[in-house]
Structure 1
Amino acid sequence: MSDAAVLSGLLSRERLLVAPGVYDGLSAAVAARAGVEAAYVSGAAVSAAEGLPDIGLTTVTEIARAIAVTHRQLDVPVIADADTGFGDETNTFRTVRTYEDAGAAAVQLEDQVFPKRCGHLDDKALIPAGEFVLKIRAALAARRRGTLIVARTDAIAVEGFDAAIARAKAYAAAGADVLFVEAPQTLDQVAAIPSAVGAPVIFNVVPGGKSPEVSREQLEGFGYAGAILPGATVGAAFTAMTQALSDIAGGGLPAGQVAGPRALFEAVGLTEWAVRRAPKEPARA
């Protein structure tokens, strides 16, 4: 069964699918060891790992490389953030093909203008809904392996909640497999989205973002098919690095709380690689 078919099944069940964000080989390896059912290659996380803010500066090539690297570590479907498709519908077609070749089971597109901004920052702008429908159709035409197309709208912050629902319904009618209404501002909005859209919907869990805190049980009860956690690994890494380097700057040195070399390398396959190395014959006198 293809990764896309597996992902479709996971999103069709009653239990919420939770896909933590990954952005490189190490974060994907840790996610694999944790037993995740799916993973989310976050454009924001890849941007941060490149030393850039999430304001449309990363390229299709950079994120496709992150998809390929993470996909090698994971035996589960990968949902991949494609921002605005990196241009018009022609660019969107190429993006879907590129992401498929890298191993994505689902490609997420959004209706912001290019270059975009993080969905939980201010001052976003949208393209017309009809223009985004053309991108969805281009994405559907591009896919060759049943890849799911996730259509995201950022309209709540720009046009209001009702307009966001209208856009999401139009995108579903255009053929998007999964819908994503970004940054609902109240718990009532979070609760209303799945039934209002009438199609599979995912929720973006962003602690400290524009949306209220919500539990897995609440999301399941509201009818969400899945939840993505873009900052699950990159946010934890940033917090841990900040603390470690603060301790060092304060005069300390890393102690037992830091993973040793063997534990780190075991996480990325030391044992599996070691058994592939042929034993050396002893040198003859």
Structure 2
Amino acid sequence: MASPVARLRELLADESKIIVCPGVYDGLTARIALQGGFDALYMTGAGTAASRLGMADLGIITLNEMRTNADMIANLDRSVPLIADADTGFGGTLSVHRTVTEYIRSGIAAFHLEDQPTTKRCGHLLNKQIVEEDEFLSRIRAAVNARKQSGGDIVIIARTDALQSLGYENAVQRLKHAIELGADVAFLEGVATREEAKQTVQDLSPTPVLFNAVAGGLSPYLTADEARELGFRIIIFPGFALTAVYEAVNAEAKLLKETGTTAKRAGSPKELFTALGLRESMAIDAAAGSRLYEKGV
């Protein structure tokens, strides 16, 4: 079996297709997405902060929390590459080097690295601060060097949030310079229009460009086909699970509070556990000669 990063590079090499990545943030949402048969997954930093800390995406989460979560998700099914948020690299160049090294060791196929300060915020909030281009490029250079020194591989996605504050030309220039240093994919956060999105792809060609589909965010909410027609090679849906869970559990909480019960559903605990690898676990036990589950569950 090809490694996750080799599989992702193989997918990127097919210029006729776009890689569709549902955003997941824990084992359950990852298992659900894996059942859906997607070619790759995306671990959202906002979802990780929400699920692990119960807090908003404001640069509070640490490398260890992010890497531990990504490691678990990446290794549920190593045939499906995981793209993971890496925020700003969690500090200076030494921290970026450590982040990349640990992401590689965890089997993560790709990550994106941005140009906000460490006290960052979600890319679809307003009034983001941006570091100087030299500082951003030092992060990219540290990431490229760490990849080289690791003896392994990982796809580096250069992300800039400079569009709103510094303008299109400055933002695209940052991405071009990051690509010159060895970044594999470009990510312009917060493109305002379809025309700007298309122009971004053209200006950064032949480098693959990623589109971030955030419902209610700063960018037009494109479908995968629409993004492919504009020339994007990867599309991530970070709110795929987070928004759905928020809305569903909110409604369930309201129902329980008002009626004293929850909605009756056709599913069972066994059905849920099957989605979480119950059969695989039983097979492992049987292959070891154990009879723990021989009568079923």
TM-score normalised to structure 1 length:
0.94
Instruction: Report the count of equivalent residues.
Output: 282
3-state SS, counterpart of residue 168 of structure 1: helix
Residue in 1 that maps onto 2:219 = 211
Residue in 2 that maps onto 1:226 = 234
CA distance in 2, matches of 1:61, 1:81: 13
* 1:57 and 2:69 correspond: no
Per-residue CA deviation, residues 74-103 of structure 1 (Å, 9 max, x unaligned), is 231111110000011111000001111222
Per-residue CA deviation, residues 61-80 of structure 1 (Å, 9 max, x unaligned), is 01111111112222311111
Tell me how large the CA RMSD over aligned residues is. Answer: 1.7
Match of 2:185 among 175, 178, 183: 178
Residue in 1 that maps onto 2:7 = 6
Q: Where does the alignment leave 5 or more consecutive residues of structure 2 unmatched? A: 293-297
* Paired AA for residue 180 in structure 1: F
Q: CA shift at 1:275, angstroms?
A: 3.0
CA distance in 1, matches of 2:266, 2:211: 33
Give yes or no for contact 1:38–1:76 (8 Å, CA) kept in 2. yes
Residue in 2 that maps onto 1:114 = 118
3-state SS, counterpart of residue 284 of structure 2: coil
Match of 2:97 among 93, 102, 110: 93
* 1:29 and 2:31 correspond: yes
Point out the more displaced range, 202-211 or 11-20. 11-20
Residue in 1 that maps onto 2:291 = 279
TM-score normalised to structure 2 length:
0.91
Q: Where does the alignment leave 5 or more consecutive residues of structure 1 unmatched? A: 281-285
* Paired AA for residue 196 in structure 1: D
Residue in 1 that maps onto 2:155 = 148
CA distance in 2, matches of 1:262, 1:123: 47
Give yes or no for contact 1:12–1:225 (8 Å, CA) kept in 2. no
Residue in 2 that maps onto 1:188 = 195
Q: CA shift at 1:115, angstroms?
A: 1.4
* Paired AA for residue 10 in structure 2: G
Per-residue CA deviation, residues 258-285 of structure 1 (Å, 9 max, x unaligned), is 74211111111111212333226xxxxx
**Measured at CA, do residues 245 and 101 of structure 1 come closer, stay the same or move farther in structure 2, by a change above 3 Å?**
same
Give yes or no for contact 2:42–2:82 (8 Å, CA) kept in 1. yes
- Deviating 4+ runs (over 6 angstroms): none
